[in-house]
Structure 1
């Protein structure tokens, strides 16, 4: 998924259900200069989504262990 975020940043957003962000990223990616920031934005967003998913799992595990 990281490679997809680098090569086609807009598709990375679309596949994760962030349609408007994907459209904005596609508009940014149309220019060659805008492609680099779009790719960086997509990779950072992907990493944040992974961190959020991991944190939710940890919170769930902590709540379940206290019962």
Structure 2
């Protein structure tokens, strides 16, 4: 549950917590744009849900 909240607030942090450093950096770059925030959040949710399964 807490990871889902982190995905919405800071998708790049969710990537870093999962050990995906390169993806986290790309997610930061995507998150810096207002339009890119939504895809970054979806991407973080997908990675988080895939790792949990």
Q: TM-score, normalised by structure 2?
A: 0.91
Which consecutive residues of structure 2, in runs of 5 or more, have no partner in the other structure?
A: none
Q: CA RMSD in A?
A: 0.6
Deviating runs (4+, > 2 A) in structure 1?
none
Number of residue pairs matched? 51
Task: Kindly name which structure, 1 or 2, has the bigger radius of gyration based on alpha carbons.
Answer: 1
Relative contact order: is structure 1 or structure 2 higher (C-alpha 8 Å, sep ≥ 6)?
A: 2
Which one has a larger percent helix, Structure 1 or Structure 2? 1
Which consecutive residues of structure 1, in runs of 5 or more, have no partner in the other structure?
A: 52-67
Q: TM-score, normalised by structure 1?
A: 0.73
